[in-house]
Amino acid sequence: MKKILDLFELRDEAVSSKNKDLFLSTQYEFKEIKSSPSKDYMELSELNSEVLHVVLDENTYIVMVAETRYKDSKSSQEYLLYYIKESDGSLYIYNLK
């Protein structure tokens, strides 16, 4: 569970620091996810991710996350399902809905 929390903390940090490379380092093979491009996240001023629930299904972690997004003095919240797999001892996001 700590690895999953660390992964989302790293994403939040990447958004706050506008570090696209750091953001992509949380994604499998540093690839963009079509349904959620990094450019959209880099436009935010801040991101706060709260892990709500984790399920392990075969070799995939399915993680429910509440994201609070801040942009232009406004905030919005979304609930997303992240699909995460382990590779070389690290966790990476490969899809989300």
pLDDT in tens, 47-85: 999 999 999 999 999 999 999 999 999 999 999 999 999
Sheet holding 46-57, edge to edge: 46-57, 60-71, 74-87, 90-96
Residue 70: predicted pLDDT: 98
Q: Which residues are bridge partners to 52 per DSSP? A: none
Domains of the chain: 2-96 (3.10.450.50)
- pTM exceeding 0.75: yes
Q: Residue 10: phi, psi to the nearest 5?
A: -65, -40
Q: Tokens in use for 68? A: 């609070």
pLDDT in tens, 5-44: 999 999 999 999 999 999 999 999 999 999 999 999 999 9
Question: What is the 3-class SS of 41-66, one letter each residue?
Answer: HHCCCEEEEEEEEEEEECCEEEEEEE
